[in-house]
Structure 1
Amino acid sequence: MLVMEVKEKLEKEYYDLPVGENGRDDEDMILWYLKDRRFSVEEAIAKLTKAIKWRQEFGVADLSEDTVKSIAKTGKAYVHDFLDVNDRPVLIVVASKHLPDVHDPCDNEKLCVFLIEKALSKLPAGQEQILGIVDLRGFGTKNADLSYLTFLFDVFYYYYPKRLGEVLFVEAPFVFQPIWQLTKPLLKSYASMVKFCSTETVRKEYFTEETLPISFRD
């Protein structure tokens, strides 16, 4: 079995990596990365070791409501209380509240990773992906942050592969278009997951009346 082969190689060649949940002996994680790399053992090991090292260096296990409390208070991003109609946890970003000149980039990154972890912890049985919603109403040049947008997609590509099912860019204003043109080539395959849509689409196609986020209600 390929999972065991990866596990044994990691134990032999990367014995200093942590073990346990999200560690080098986590069979579910190993299988996920094997699937992501089309069952190439070498490619899975390369991506997996990079992800485990990143989790350790970033301090993912130490993130909590308390550690991100001050930046979370801005309301710039949160995990919605309800799943969408496809049973996916929902991560909402309010772009107009993202102020790169005011907020510490490290705090932004910690909040981002904390919320991804929180959304994934809400995955129901049989569901493997989450929905991202970027609310672009009120977005202006002061909210533009190419490096943060790139960080966000890099995190999903390298460390949470195939966890992002779809990203909705809601009510994108004209000023957002040049930023998107700059970002799009950096997003690799994730660019095809982005769907530009209206608040009406969010209401009608992704939620029921009971589960619709408050900010998208009439």
Structure 2
Amino acid sequence: MTTDIATGRIGNLSKEQELKIKQVWAHMLTHWGVPVDTKNVFQSRSNRGGESKSDADSNKNSKKGGKLFGKFLKGSGGSSKSGTSDQRDRSGSLGAKQTTEELETLFSGLEPSEVRENFWDMLRTDYPDNLLLRFLRARKWDTHKAMSMIAHTLRWRLKEAKPDEVIMGGELAAYKKNEKGYIKNIELSKATIRGFDNKGRPIVYVRPRLHHSSDQTEDEMKEYCLLIIEQTRLFLKEPVDCATILFDLTDFSMANMDYSPVQYLISCFEAHYPECLGHLFIHKAPWIFPPIWNIIKNWLDPVVASKIVFTKNTSDLVKYIPEKHIPASLGGDDKYDFDSFKKPDESVDAKLQDHETRNAIQEKRSAIIKSYIDTTVAWIESTAEKESSELLQRKIELSKQLSDNFRKLDPYIRSRSVYDINGTLEL
């Protein structure tokens, strides 16, 4: 067990946690049509010698929740067949016989091939296992709740928000589409990814005083939010898996208050980017802010709320952020001009036209993914602890290969951002 890897991440899992991620993979692979023998991961807990606390909690939650995936299906207009809750094993997970039927309902309207493709496309330099583990941790290791969340997110990415299109198009896409409100957000640099906190997490520096709701449509604001979130993901490097947000409320007034983007950001982090927030600093909140906060805090999940820290001065910030990464305007040493945005020249995207190189890298990526899937199948089916451990190490090695492959592929599929151009983003 590696001590510098946080618990609940690949490379630092308990036996029960490893079982849970195997179950999630078994569900995903089965839905994709990949043959996998799942009896080892879905047999009842009584046959494996007892029930852990996490399993007991899952079982308790399952009984409270009624039908499997009920909350998600109600929200998406679907329905599940009665009696499903009785078909789960004692770990709160779907049994092998129910997997196909339930996932067909859960992913209703989505082809298995597009779900599979989108899963691999949403990876940046993060490891596949760690991506799925975010959802398990967010749902307290309840497999079926994690699967509901994963399905909801994949549907959202494919059919609704389409964040992969947003990040691949970058800032230049806003200009090409002439989305004036989106462009204004970009040029004002309302949010800038700059520096790292004491734990190596990238910092998103937000200046709400620059925001006015009339400057953009709601859709343009959502698109800008997604651009910042997805750009921040590019700054994450294993084992760092979350970011810090610094809201600078200097000169904030009621004219800047807009609840819509706040609600959207909260919903994104809680529903689609779980376990991605390190700290959220609310700095120099003015006297008008407490009533606003009393409204916002009621929207927050307790876990997200626990990560919010109110700060007043530089001394408060240096407890979490090195002075060299604190903006000079807040008493730090970073003299970066946050108003220096310049529209990228289209010449920076010359590699997007090099389809031959892109295709060659993607072909290698497909081969790595196939090896990863084959290894994952063997890992799920393995009954020997030594063999399972060796297969897990093989998966970690293949994850590293996928990360390296994305670094090579990135300039051939993603428009260059201001961070690529100014050198602050180095994959």
**Normalising to structure 1: TM-score of the pair?**
0.89
Identity %: 22
2:258 to 135, 145, 155: 145
CA distance in 2, matches of 1:108, 1:145: 11
2:115 to 12, 17, 28: 17
The answer for the alignment partner of 1:125 in structure 2 is 238
CA contact (8 A) 2:248 2:282 kept: yes
Between Structure 1 and Structure 2, the one with more helix by share is 2
Q: How does 1:163-182 map to 2 (within 5 A)?
A: 163-182=276-295
Per the TM alignment, residue 62 of structure 1 is displaced from its structure 2 partner at its CA by: 1.1
User: Secondary structure of the equivalent of 1:165?
Assistant: strand
**Gap change, CA 1:202 and 1:66, over 3 Å in 2:** farther
State the AA in 2 paired with 1:95.
P
The answer for the alignment partner of 2:228 in structure 1 is 115
User: Secondary structure of the equivalent of 1:4?
Assistant: helix
Between Structure 1 and Structure 2, the one with more strand by share is 1
CA distance in 2, matches of 1:86, 1:217: 20
The answer for the alignment partner of 2:157 in structure 1 is 55
Rg bigger for which structure? Answer: 2
User: Secondary structure of the equivalent of 1:85?
Assistant: coil
Larger mean CA deviation between 98-107 and 14-23 belongs to 14-23
Q: How does 1:171-210 map to 2 (within 5 A)?
A: 171-189=284-302, 190-201=304-315, 203-210=317-324
CA distance in 2, matches of 1:6, 1:215: 50
Larger mean CA deviation between 2-11 and 53-62 belongs to 2-11
**Gap change, CA 1:192 and 1:3, over 3 Å in 2:** same
Structure 1: which 4+ aligned runs deviate by more than 3 Å? none
Larger mean CA deviation between 10-19 and 70-79 belongs to 10-19
Per the TM alignment, residue 29 of structure 1 is displaced from its structure 2 partner at its CA by: 2.8
The answer for the alignment partner of 1:216 in structure 2 is 330
Gaps of 5+ in 2: 1-21, 33-99, 176-182, 333-427
CA distance in 1, matches of 2:203, 2:316: 12
The answer for the alignment partner of 1:3 in structure 2 is 24
Gaps of 5+ in 1: none
Q: Deviations over 1:178-216 (max 9, x none)?
A: 111111111122222211112313552233333223432
What is the RMSD of the two structures over their aligned residues, measured on CA atoms? 2.1
The answer for the alignment partner of 1:135 in structure 2 is 248
Larger mean CA deviation between 34-43 and 202-211 belongs to 202-211
CA distance in 2, matches of 1:129, 1:8: 27
**Gap change, CA 1:201 and 1:167, over 3 Å in 2:** farther
The answer for the alignment partner of 1:162 in structure 2 is 275
CA contact (8 A) 1:167 1:195 kept: yes
CA contact (8 A) 1:68 1:110 kept: no
- Is 1:106 the counterpart of 2:127? The answer is no
Larger mean CA deviation between 32-41 and 51-60 belongs to 32-41
1:43 to 145, 155, 158: 145
Q: Deviations over 1:115-141 (max 9, x none)?
A: 111112111322111101111111111
CA distance in 2, matches of 1:108, 1:201: 33
CA distance in 1, matches of 2:301, 2:171: 31
User: Secondary structure of the equivalent of 2:282?
Assistant: strand
Per the TM alignment, residue 32 of structure 1 is displaced from its structure 2 partner at its CA by: 2.6
